[in-house]
């Protein structure tokens, strides 16, 4: 039994995969978006987003139990919802990847420009830095999965080290009175970014295969990984909202209006060279790791959608299809970071990871009577609540787009 578990992948490994999928560039927007509502509403919203996305993940685990072999989200949708469900999933998945890449490329400009200035004393405009960033790391995506994996391991070490450095130095400069801001009505503005920051559901079929179909251990990995991400986000929220004021230059409100992510506000607020270095490096590592993962995934997704095998000969075209449209959009609208993340979470993620899992389980359980070795608790009432919450987040994003 123990030998079987070793061969089928460890729960710890699964926890790290889930946490690594969550923690990335999305957290750069979290304190700015939630800070408009205030510290305590931010904590409540973080917990609600975590609970919803974890429940959604468990629904997908139940669906995975319908199959004996390895599947993906699109084949799961087709099994329960037919070709219409698969088609909706395909286009939603594509838009989700594109929106995320637009956000990452947009945020890369200012950060890469500042790093180039620090290292070489050369001022590169933000648009030029975004272009350089996309070409450089797009080339690594072109090289394939193995180079991305190796490079990503190094970057993750840097991400963890700089995060701990920021927390360690910044925690002593927190001003508790900044936690008193309370405007819970703005929580709805943050919900789309919150849910996309807990987006790991696309990994569940692969994680199930990694665990060789042991759904109990898959659930443990999901619970542990999502809780680890929640703790990281809470500490990050405490640091930023405890040191950055609501108003004033580079405050929460000003950063939101200018489309600047949290590390820039942290740097301007604290004025510490050490913290500034950690913050800038952390932002860079977060964006690069997210860009590589999503860029590689989108490249493979396009190849699979076109029914082509991704080889060295044709992978350059798949990379161009994956990276050129978001690059053009990000260069045309350089302050689109928050809007792109919000669209990704409020529309794409809610359809793909909110509404579709509810429909898949509802049809599978109550219409087709498909049996799974795992059954999510709560029955129809909890499915209805999850569906209603998904509609709420989509509604918030639609209002945000048109306001």
Tens digits of residue pLDDT in 78-94: 888 999 998 999 999 89
Burial class (CB in 10 A: 0-12, 13-18, 19+), 132: middle
Count how many Cα atoms sit within 13 Å of the Cα of residue 214 in the half-sphere of its side chain. Answer: 17
pLDDT of 5 reads 43
pLDDT of 302 reads 84
CATH number for 353: 1.20.1740.10
Residue 75: pLDDT band with limits 50, 70, 90: confident
Our count of domains for the chain comes to: 1
Residue 2: pLDDT band with limits 50, 70, 90: very low
Please, what's the b/e burial string for 313-336 (b: 16 or more CB within 10 A of its CB; e: otherwise)? eebeebbeebbeebbebbbeebeb
Q: At 378, give phi and psi (nearest 5°).
A: 110, -25
pLDDT of 231 reads 94
Residues 6+ apart with CB under 8 A from 266: 166, 170, 239, 240, 243, 244, 275, 279
pLDDT of 9 reads 66
Per residue in 13-49, pLDDT (tens digit) is: 888 888 888 887 788 889 999 999 999 999 999 999 9
Per residue in 99-116, pLDDT (tens digit) is: 999 999 998 988 898 888
pLDDT of 203 reads 82
- Contact yes or no for 397/391 (Cβ under 8 A): no
Determine the structural domain holding residue 379 and report its residue range: 2-402
Query: Is the pLDDT at 263 greater than 50, yes or no?
Result: yes
CA distances from 134 to 109, 182, 187, 318 (A): 10, 39, 33, 15
Query: Is the pLDDT at 8 greater than 60, yes or no?
Result: no
Query: Is the pLDDT at 309 greater than 80, yes or no?
Result: no
- Contact yes or no for 253/47 (Cβ under 8 A): no
Q: Is the pTM of this model over 0.85?
A: yes
Angle in degrees, CA 341, 345, 348, rounded to 5: 110
Rounded average pLDDT over 311-324: 82
């Amino acid at each position: 039994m123990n030998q079987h578990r070793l061969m089928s992948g460890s729960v710890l490994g699964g926890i790290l995969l889930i946490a690594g999928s969550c923690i990335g560039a999305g957290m750069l927007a979290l304190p700015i978006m939630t800070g408009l509502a205030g510290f305590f509403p931010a904590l409540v919203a973080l917990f609600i987003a975590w609970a919803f996305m974890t429940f959604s993940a468990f629904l997908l685990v139940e669906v995975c139990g319908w199959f004996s072999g390895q599947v993906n989200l699109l084949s799961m949708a087709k099994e329960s919802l037919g070709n219409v469900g698969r088609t909706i999933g395909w286009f939603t998945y594509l838009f989700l990847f594109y929106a995320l890449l637009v956000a990452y490329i947009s945020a890369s400009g200012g950060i890469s420009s500042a790093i180039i200035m620090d290292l070489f004393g050369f001022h590169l405009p933000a648009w030029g830095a975004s272009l350089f960033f996309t070409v450089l790391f797009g080339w690594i995506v072109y090289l394939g999965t193995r180079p991305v994996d190796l490079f990503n391991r190094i970057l993750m070490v840097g991400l963890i080290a700089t995060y701990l450095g920021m927390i360690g130095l910044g925690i002593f400069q927190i001003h508790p009175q900044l936690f008193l801001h309370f405007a819970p009505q703005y929580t709805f503005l943050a919900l789309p970014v919150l849910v996309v920051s807990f987006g790991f559901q696309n990994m569940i079929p692969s994680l199930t295969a990694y665990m060789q179909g042991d759904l109990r251990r898959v659930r443990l990995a999901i619970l542990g990984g999502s809780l680890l991400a929640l703790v990281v986000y809470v500490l990050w929220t405490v640091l930023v909202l405890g040191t950055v004021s609501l108003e004033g230059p580079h405050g929460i409100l000003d950063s939101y209006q200018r489309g600047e992510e949290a590390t820039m506000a942290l740097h301007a607020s604290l004025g510490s060279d050490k913290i500034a270095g950690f913050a800038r490096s952390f932002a860079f590592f977060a964006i690069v790791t997210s860009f590589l993962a999503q860029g590689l995934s989108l490249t493979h997704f396009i190849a699979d959608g076109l029914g082509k095998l991704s080889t060295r000969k044709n992978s350059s075209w798949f990379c161009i299809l994956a990276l050129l449209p978001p690059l053009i959009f990000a260069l045309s609208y350089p302050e689109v970071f928050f809007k792109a993340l919000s669209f990704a979470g409020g529309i794409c993620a809610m359809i793909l990871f909110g509404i579709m899992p509810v429909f898949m389980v509802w049809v599978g359980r109550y219409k087709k009577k498909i049996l799974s070795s795992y059954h999510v608790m709560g029955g129809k009432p909890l499915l209805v609540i999850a569906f209603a919450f998904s509609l709420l987040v989509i509604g918030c994003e639609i209002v945000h787009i048109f306001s």
